[in-house]
Structure 1
Amino acid sequence: MSCELSVIERLSRAIVEADRGVIHRPRLANAVGQIDQEHQEVAVPRQPDPVDPSQSPWHLLGATLRHYRELAGDSLQEVASKVLVDYSLLARWERGARPAPADAVRRLDIHLNAGGILIALHGIVTKQVSTSVARAATMSDPDDMDQARRNLLAGLAALGASAMVPPTEGLEQLRAIIDHRVGVPGIAEWEERVWEYGLQIPSRPPASMVADLSLALLAFQKAMAGAPGSEFPQWARVNARLTLLLATVLGYAGNRLESWAWWATARRAALQTGDDEAIALVDADEAIQGFYEDRPPALLLSRLNNALALTQDRPNAATARALATRSQLLAMLGDHAGARASLDQQARVFDSLPNHVTADELSVGGWTERRLLHTRSLVHALSRHPDAERAQSEALRAHPRGVPRGEVQLRLHGAISAVRNGDVDDGLEHARSIVTGLGSNVSQFVVRTASMVADAVPASGQSRATVRDYREWLALPAASL
């Protein structure tokens, strides 16, 4: 205990002394280095991957975070599960390869009993980096420029054999200098960036999208604060769209609680636009994701009804998405007549959709024929429709290449049909092989669709060993499936 108190006291003193406008990195780095060495000698029998606290402010925070985690005797996975973050992201924060967000640092500080040290250090690091980048944007003194050059070279040298470039102070300084010369990104660039993110979501690993979108949203808030008032509606729409995308990928990555909170934020961001379609799109997309997260049907129906009330059945993406989700939800609840009615209404809306919506095949913002067919495939599978097999074949033929998760879902629809038709063991084994073939690229949508295969087994067969084994396998972490 005396060692632990000494650690906290010395680190607190170093942080207080450092917070005098600009961080005194060598002194803080020395304090953390001594703490790490002392802790390894006393409490940690193994040597962790090296972290040099003097390399950058984020490396300093990472070394401190690692110290408190190891002091608690917890693994990365144990801490990540308790504070609701992906453990691979936590590992990157410890290595200084990613800036840690303030809300996650707050949860980590509480869980690791750091007594506010991590929170204070995060504030200092953020302030120092912001000050350094702001100073770099206007620098003209040769010594200052040379310091920026040294920071850049130090960050690039730290890459080593890594295939991923981490954010470094030097790169941020370089970009700030150039932006000061040529101008910061305007709304047109941000609109293009949001569109590109929408293209990436169906095929990229969700965890990497969470990191990229988080950083993009942070940068966007700064840009939006300095935007002309006359452009506010455009900036508000991009803000709502970025926030919606982050809520979506958090759900894809399995971070359900964080995703739910971000959906509420996305709804408030959409309200700022004053655009009924933007608000309806948030409600419809939350319901789509909530359907695959097994959220309460009453809540989902409330979201869908609100979306449809806002759009008043006008032919747009929000209306089509809301009707599609309602048909799937009703089919799952056993209201097959209501599900078919929503399917028919969705088909009528689809025929009147603008070309830019029906032609957007790749992004999550479009609503193409293959999405219509995907919905029909699942509804027919859930309702044991006689045309289920044909609906699945049509949907598979229309599915684009390069989007493996969507194709896996469609093949799982076939497994649902097989189980409903009495081929329980074959259907479950087929579903398992389909999901396993996807490797690590498993999303929450895939896992939930796979669970529908087991749900399709009649109540009298739920106690079968094959069903129990399948459910236990499906409960494993995505990386283990």
Structure 2
Amino acid sequence: MERRRLLQIAAASAGIGIFGVSGEPVRQLLELSLDHGFRSGEEWEISAADHLHALRTRPPAQVAADLIIDLLTVRRQMEVSSPAEVTELQRTLAVLSSIHANALTRLGDHGAAVRWWRTGRSAADASGDREVRLLVRSEEAGHGLYGQRAPETVMRLVDNAEQVAGGSSVDLLTTRAKALSLLGRHAEARETLDAVVELTEKGDRGDSLGFWKEDQIYFTQSWVHAGAGDEARAGTARENVLRLTGDYQYRTNIALHEALCTVVQGAIDEGVRRAATVMDPLPVAYRSNHIIETGRMLLRAIPLDQQDRPAVGEFREVLSTEVRPTG
């Protein structure tokens, strides 16, 4: 029996490259022999917080591999749980699926990410937890901005999430502002930023699960003002992001926002060279799709008749080296 269970776990694990020094199949077998490896609701909340921390500090390929292990554990626990316990585990499944879709988006594996968003939405709806239903939809819309979906589709996702919420939220409004910026609707994007500030002043602080943080307001301001070429406001927003976050992805992207603002103002060579100095020292494992897409946003801001400039070509080469899905 144990040999058969080990082979089953090994087969599932081999596909995600974790059979090696981590000894994951053996660990799972040992865990099964001790207490089935099941976790309480609080333990699952801590696990989700750990994965969120990993997203902000580690290469996305590592995060995705670790998440698969916990997703398999949730499935196994659901198979032998009571109906009430399954409902709570569906909530856990929705949260972990959302984090996994985030990691896959960072890897540029958009098809898989979209399927995991769908799984996350289904699990959230089955749980009946309104906050988690909104969370998954908000996350799906926000990460769709990074080359996964057209800005118009993202706006539609925001509209749908607002129907679930019965109104808007700071998370949804920041996504709407970014989408409007990508569409060149800068005045509307700035108006949406005002609405974000108004909601926060009324006490809206995002979700209670740790996904949304205050730095996202300033990150959105950096994005919107840089896209409009407003260096003064974009600079203030960047300072606030640096003050609040240690997330390598945010810190890299706001530096790229600065370069984008320079390009929008007309200093193309200076802007792309500044962007290249941001990207060059970044290890390939950390060059997530979110960072690459921010660089591409800068390239799209360059007029067509200036796309052949040598400095632009050099930056395009820098962007060609990016993290790839591992399986």
User: Which TM-score band applies after superposition, normalised by the shorter structure?
Assistant: 0.7 to 0.9
Moved more, 190-199 or 371-380: 190-199
Which of 19, 22, 30 is matched with 1:174 structurally?
Answer: 30
Shift of 1:461: 1.1
The 3 A distance-change label for structure 1 pair 478 and 246 is closer
Which of 203, 212, 218 is matched with 1:366 structurally?
Answer: 212
Which of 257, 270, 282 is matched with 1:426 structurally?
Answer: 270
Percent of matched pairs sharing the same residue: 25
Residue correspondence of structure 1 range 32-431 to structure 2 within 5 A:
57=7, 93=14, 98=18, 164-169=21-26, 171-179=27-35, 184-313=38-167, 319-353=169-203, 357=207, 363=210, 365-368=211-214, 370-385=215-230, 387-401=232-246, 403-431=247-275
**TM-score under structure 2 normalisation?**
0.88
The 3 A distance-change label for structure 1 pair 390 and 185 is closer
Alpha-carbon RMSD across the aligned residues, in angstroms, is 2.9
- Give the aligned residue type for 1:249: A
Moved more, 434-443 or 406-415: 434-443
Shift of 1:177: 2.2
The 3 A distance-change label for structure 1 pair 216 and 346 is same
Distance 1:383 1:179 in 2: 57
Aligned structure 1 segments of 4 or more residues deviating by more than 4 angstroms: 21-24, 58-62, 354-358
Bigger relative CO (Cα 8 Å, ≥ 6 apart) = 2
Alignment size in residue pairs: 322
Secondary structure at the aligned position of 2:314 is classed as helix
Distance 1:256 1:408 in 2: 21
Distance 2:230 2:203 in 1: 27
Native 8 Å contact 1:280 1:306 kept in 2? no
Which structure has the larger Rg over C-alpha atoms?
Answer: 1
- Give the aligned residue type for 1:377: S
Distance 1:293 1:273 in 2: 30
Note if 1:463 corresponds to 2:313: no
| CA displacement 1:175-197 (0-9 Å, x = unmatched) | 222216xx842222212211221
Native 8 Å contact 1:206 1:252 kept in 2? yes
Distance 2:9 2:75 in 1: 24
Secondary structure at the aligned position of 1:292 is classed as coil
| CA displacement 1:219-276 (0-9 Å, x = unmatched) | 1111122222233432221111011111111111221221111112112112112234
- Give the aligned residue type for 2:22: V
Secondary structure at the aligned position of 1:478 is classed as coil
Distance 1:456 1:377 in 2: 16
Shift of 1:22: 9.2
Moved more, 230-239 or 415-424: 230-239
- Give the aligned residue type for 2:256: L
Native 8 Å contact 1:97 1:167 kept in 2? no
**TM-score under structure 1 normalisation?**
0.61
